Amino acid sequence: MAVKTATQSTPVSVPQADMHWLWGFVKHHRGAAIASILSGVLGGFAGAGAPYLIGIIIDNVGEGITRNQLLADIGLLIFIGAISVVAFFGQRYFSGTVAYSVTYDIQIKIFDNMLTLEQDFYHRYPTGDLISRMHSDITTIWRLLALTFTRGGVAITTLIVTFFLLGMTSLPLTILVFMVLAISTFFQLRAGIVLRPVFEKVQDQAGVMSAFVQDVVSGVQTVKTSGKEDGAATKFREENMQYRQDWLYFRRRNEPIGMLPNLISEATAGLVVVAGGVLALNGDLTIGNFAQFLIYLNLISNALLIVGMIYQRYQQTLGVLDRLTPLLQDATIASKQDASPLSQPKGEITFENVSLDLGDARLLNNISLTIPAGATVALVGPTGSGKSLLVSLLARVYDPTEGRILVDGQDIRDLDLDDLRAAIAYVPQTTFLFSQPLHRNVRMTKNTISDEELDRAIHISRVSNDLEQLPHGMDTLVGEKGVMLSGGQKQRVAIARAILRNSAILVLDDALSSVDTHTAADILGELRHVVQNRTSIIIAHRIATVKDADYIYVLDYGTLTEEGTHKDLVEKGGLYASMVQRELSTEIDIENIGEVGHAISE
Amino acid sequence: MRSVSDDRWEKQELDKEFRQQSEDLSDRYLIFMLLRFVAPFWRQLIAVFVMLLIVTGLSLLPPYLIQIAVDGPITNGDMQGLIPIAIVYFTSIPALFVLRFGQIYLLQTVGQDALVEMRQALFEHILKQDMRFFNKTPVGLIVARLSNDIEALTELLSTSIVIIATNLVTLIGIIGVMLVLNWRLALISLAVMPVILLASIYFRGKIREVSSRMHRIIGEYQAFLNEQFNGMLIVQLFNRQMISAEEFDDISSRYRQSRMDLRDSFTVYASFLQFMTSVGMALVLYGGGEGVLAGWATLGMLLSFIQYSQRSFQPILQLTDQFAQIQSALSAGERIARMLQVEPQIVDPAEPATLDTTRTHAITLDNVHFEYEDNTPVLRGVSLEILAGQRVAIVGATGAGKTSLAGLLARFYDVNEGRVMIDGVDVRDMTLDDLRRCVMVVPQSPYCFHGTIAENLMLFDKTVTYERMVSAAQVARASRFIERLPDQYDYQLLPGGANLSEGERQLLALARALIHNPHSILVLDEATSNIDTETEKYIQEGLEHILKNRTSLIIAHRLSTVRDADRILVMKAGQVVEDGTHEELLTLGGVYAELYRRQFEEVGLEVAKVHSETALKEHSAS
């Protein structure tokens, strides 16, 4: 009976990226946040105070004041202006600090988490879409923060201060003004909610488009050799047009809402003139009061516009936070809290009734095997039989659906994940190189590695053979931005990388497939010394590569069908024997056997 | 953690990149490029401009109306006199609203249409580039061009242009109106304008510079993420998370810093303008006050001037707000323009030779020299004659130049010296379309696109029928594994084809090649290296069938794949050192015989020994 796994009983926890989460980041920069809001309050007072003073000046001028009095008033106005500027500077400066620091913190937080997420996660999200989330979605958060901290404080203060200042002049007129202007704010708030899904659709489509570009450019050689540039362009046009449609749909609903405050404030100005005119005729209102109202109208409608905009961005940010949430999920494959260290691994490996389902397919079925420390075993089997999956379980690229895997007698899920992976030097089928100098691609983590060790690894893997072909030797930039290496060269870099790890377990997953037989044989010969004290698992198709292994496992359709030494298996006459037979019959030309036999015996 | 020399080295690379980027592209070129995409919509643009003039005119009306109302009816106590003024006022407002919306509606539509074309043009332009371009340009950078940079232009074309134009027209209108109403007061109000203008010129360059630095970092940021996400498995297996996190921190910090720098320049600039508006207002009040006192201005006039000068500052402040946006849009436009300027080096010839793409092709290489990087030759004088229908295998150590040979034949690259010819025609004299129809390369690590198996096989080509797809899959022996999958041909592949094994991906690529290039020269670049010998045997059968009337080049390490070829070429250090059939090369006793002997030794030593002993006995017996 299969053992149910421990990790699967603990549910995957997904910390929701919500406003509370965002607030946690803002709190870290509360100094700047408070400073920007205080500057806003100061700016609100100064901004609202200036029109009040202007009204007084106009009335004074109307009553015929002296030039000195006028100059004194104007001096005061400039002073208030200076305060406004200081406040303005503070708002922009500090809000910038908050918004940029918080987005930076969020980027780091998310990326650090993504470094822990398992392959399963990366298989579910196209790379282009992830990039779009890491950039354009985080920018949306930045927009909310920047607007809130730059303009939020000043908008609220302006509204309060103007209400009181105007109320002192004429309460009925003030209430009228505020009520009319509130209509536009109401529309904005509603639009924020209604348009949120529409905005999200635009963001989603942007992600789709990025993902498509990323995909096509990554596979551009295939597109080109098949001459399918036109087809790709047509598909791109579809996505492109869809984006245009979504964008316009959003904007056409959003724009009128944005224009509303202005319209209403202008209408209100008319009302003020008519109603104020009546009041002025009665002597309740001076011409200066008029001027105040007209200027304040602008201020109030701008302030309300900002409040509405903040709310809209708040709604957009809610959508964006939902898109960021999956990137913050806890890794399902991670060290347990009470994980045991694996300090001096010996490299004994046991698979106990291991099965693996991916999607709805069972890819590995009830596999049990034990590899003693220091042994060299080989895995063979047809394409798609599950060899690579089996070894990837060992490094916990996936966790088995059923059963368990032990290293040195401990369930690997109980071990510290870093320790486990440090104990394994893994050469996967496809090699990945970073856009860095070659030596850093070989060194990977450890910069403490001595030059001798590096040289040895390069020699064993025969990377040394190519150095003179590279413009700067080991300093040559490789990877995406650098010099192109051939498939075989890349594989040998991967092997050098693995050798340098000096780990207890070495896994070679068809790691010599692109290396010519001659060099491959050289490397294998050298590796024999390297693997002497290591447990090694070799996946290969060539019998030559596997036949000297201590033990050979044969996989077929995810099931372990045969095991034994080369000799055992050949005698057994099963799948392996037929593989050997086939290879012998194709590799060795029976007609020429005598001739080659000569060559060997001579 | 990092050594000093690494950092210095990286810095040098960055500096180099920076110098390249900062070679100034003239604004004129930039505007010309933008115009190219906007020009088709000139009718709509004229309509937008007319509306803009009307809107601006109308929006200048209210302060004037208020001035009339205050100076006339309100001062005189004539309530009746207010009515006509009020009617004009209140009708102008909805009219304004409708016109403004119409104007934005039109412009945003035009803007999007232009951007769709630009994005499309950029995408197609990028697809046209040669492989050298793709080898040197990180994918993330291309994604950044097509997403962020276009997005930056979106704001410019759909919002900013309206704002800028409206504000400029308004500003000019206001200045005109003020001058007409009272030239003395107008001059006083406008006194601060020259200062504002000078400041804007000063800050423009500064902000543009920081902004383009920021966008370069954004490109780097996206390229980095692309690389890390693609290489995440290696990052994790090799415990490289710490280094990756540090690298990301480095880029993010520089990103933040560039934005902070932008903020610094911008805040100083905007604050200065803000202060200038206060000074301007004080000047109007002082001058106006004097004027009223001296009798050359009325109170109503002062009131309307206060509004007008406020309205004249508004465009300036709004333009300031747009400033950073405009600068970043321009620098985005610059990067797009630069990418559009990159011309592929491998292009169709002016007078292409006609080629029969349905016949079986012959290949000739004439003293071919080739290098990817200067002074590191990959091929050194290769001359070959491959007859139509021949099946040629190429073997040799990694780095011997086998893949490069295939790349030259498909014209992913051009030779440095010599000629590559198909049916006697230099590949450089054919159209790329023709050439690609007659050469198909199946690479070792085939790429799988996001989508289903069927989509991957049909590869954006809607003319491929289901039957043709299935029969190709059968011939390539891919149908065996496909039919075992849950949804068969509709099976959804994970990004990078992660739910297929390497060998299965190779089978898929073979099938794909059969669908799209039925008559071409087939180049299999280690296309079956990850396939087990059993499946390979199946493929061999399929290949027999496929290759019957084709010329083919098979690059392989497994001698079982190579043996049956009509001819085997052995490459070493960029040269063909041996050329002949399997038997001939064995007899020759050179590199191939040695290779063969080694594999032979490894695989079948025992068997061979037995055989050779018998052979020896027979030999001595006879």
ipTM, two decimals, is 0.83
Minimum mean pLDDT range among A134-148, A405-419, B7-21, B164-178: B7-21
Strand order in the sheet with B575-580: B439-442, B521-525, B552-555, B391-396, B567-572, B575-580
- pLDDT over threshold 60, residue B540: yes
Q: Checking DSSP bridges between strand B391-396 and strand B552-555, what pairing results, if any?
A: parallel
Mean pLDDT confidence for B35-46: 85
Partners of B200 in beta bridges: none
The minimal CB distance from A85 to the residues B271, B535, B594 is found for: B271
Q: Write the DSSP string, A539-585.
A: E-S-HHHHTTSSEEEEEETTEEEEEE-HHHHHHHTSHHHHHHHHHHH
Mean pLDDT confidence for A92-120: 89
Give the mutation candidate from B2, B17, B125, B139 for the A interface (greatest A CB count, under 10 A). B139
Dig out the tokens for A313 from the structure.
């961005």
Give the mutation candidate from B65, B91, B158, B229 for the A interface (greatest A CB count, under 10 A). B229
Report the C-alpha gap between A461 and A524 in whole angstroms: 9
Residue A97: what pLDDT? 92
Q: Checking DSSP bridges between strand B439-442 and strand B492-493, what pairing results, if any?
A: unpaired
**Number of CB pairs < 8 Å for A and B?**
565
Mean pLDDT confidence for B183-208: 83
Give the mutation candidate from A136, A226, A230 for the B interface (greatest B CB count, under 10 A). A226
Note whether A54 and B281 are within 8 A (CB).
yes
Q: Write the DSSP string, B310-347.
A: HHHHHHHHHHHHHHHHHHHHHHHHHHHHHHHHPPPSS-
Residue B95: what pLDDT? 84
Give B598 to chain A, closest Cα distance, Å: 7
Residue A258: what pLDDT? 75
Residue A103: what pLDDT? 92
In this prediction the pTM is 0.78
Residue A100: what pLDDT? 93
Most confident of A103-117, B168-182, B506-520, B591-605: A103-117
Residue B613: what pLDDT? 47
Q: Do B263 and A481 touch (CB under 8 A)?
A: no
Give the residue carrying structure tokens 């109030």.
A300
Task: Report residue A450's pLDDT band, with 50, 70 and 90 as the boundaries.
Answer: confident
What's the mean pLDDT when you consider all of chain B?
77
- pLDDT over threshold 50, residue A80: yes
- pLDDT over threshold 90, residue B435: no
Q: Do A435 and B138 touch (CB under 8 A)?
A: yes
Burial B356-391 (b: 16+ CB within 10 A, else e): ebeebbbbbbbebebbbeeeebbbebbebebeeebb
Task: Please return the burial class of B274, using the count of CB atoms within 10 Å of its CB with bins 0-12, 13-18 and 19+.
Answer: buried
Task: Report residue B254's pLDDT band, with 50, 70 and 90 as the boundaries.
Answer: very high
User: Which residue does chain A place closest to B68, by CA atoms?
Assistant: A273
Burial B137-148 (b: 16+ CB within 10 A, else e): bbbbbbbbbbbb
Residue A11: what pLDDT? 42
Mean pLDDT confidence for A285-311: 77
What's the mean pLDDT when you consider all of chain A?
81
Residue B576 DSSP label: E
Task: Residue A215: list chain B partners with CB under 8 A.
Answer: 449-450, 495
Collapsed DSSP state (helix, strand, coil) of residue B611: helix
Residue A503: what pLDDT? 84
Note whether B585 and B593 are within 8 A (CB).
yes
Dig out the tokens for A414 from the structure.
């109980």
- pLDDT over threshold 90, residue B212: no
pLDDT in tens, A260-291: 777 777 777 777 777 766 666 666 667 667 76
Residue A102: what pLDDT? 93
Task: Residue A305: list chain B partners with CB under 8 A.
Answer: none
pLDDT in tens, A172-199: 778 877 787 778 778 878 877 888 888 8
Residue B611: what pLDDT? 47
Task: Residue B231: list chain A partners with CB under 8 A.
Answer: 432, 434
Residue A42: what pLDDT? 92
Residue closest to B444 by CA, chosen among A468, A487, A114:
A487
Residue closest to A47 by CA, chosen among B265, B288, B317:
B317
- pLDDT over threshold 80, residue B214: yes
Asked if B58 is an interface residue toward chain A (Cβ–Cβ < 8 A), one would say: no
Over pLDDT 70: what percentage of chain B? 86
Question: Dihedral through CA B431, CA B437, CA B439, CA B442, nearest 10?
Answer: 130
Mean pLDDT confidence for B268-279: 85
Count of Cβ atoms closer than 10 Å to residue A452 Cβ: 8
Report the C-alpha gap between B127 and A480 in whole angstroms: 17
Using left for φ > 0, alpha for ψ between -120 and 50, and beta otherwise, residue A406 falls in beta
Q: Do B270 and A295 touch (CB under 8 A)?
A: no
- pLDDT over threshold 80, residue B4: no
- pLDDT over threshold 80, residue A43: yes
pLDDT in tens, B391-431: 888 887 766 777 888 888 888 888 888 888 888 888 888 88
Residue closest to A429 by CA, chosen among A339, A309, A538, A300:
A538
Give the mutation candidate from B532, B544, B553, B597 for the A interface (greatest A CB count, under 10 A). B532
Report the C-alpha gap between B389 and B74 in whole angstroms: 101
pLDDT in tens, B288-318: 877 777 777 777 777 777 777 777 777 777 7
pLDDT in tens, B51-76: 888 887 887 777 777 777 777 766 66
Collapsed DSSP state (helix, strand, coil) of residue A423: coil
Report the C-alpha gap between B618 and B358 in whole angstroms: 52
Residue B610: what pLDDT? 43
CA angle B8, B11, B12 (to 5 degrees): 90
Residues in chain B: 622
pLDDT in tens, B524-538: 887 666 666 666 776
Dig out the tokens for A88 from the structure.
């303005």
Residue ranges of B 76-115 with Cβ closer than 8 A to chain A: 77, 79, 82, 86, 89-90, 93-94, 96-97, 100-101, 104-105, 108-109, 112-113, 115
Minimum mean pLDDT range among A99-113, A364-378, B54-68: B54-68
Partners of A535 in beta bridges: A505
Which residues contact residue A60 at a Cβ distance below 8 angstroms, ignoring those fewer than 6 apart?
A69, A70, A73, A288, B289
pLDDT in tens, B70-123: 777 666 666 677 777 778 877 888 888 888 888 888 888 888 888 888 888 888
Report the C-alpha gap between B307 and A297 in whole angstroms: 11
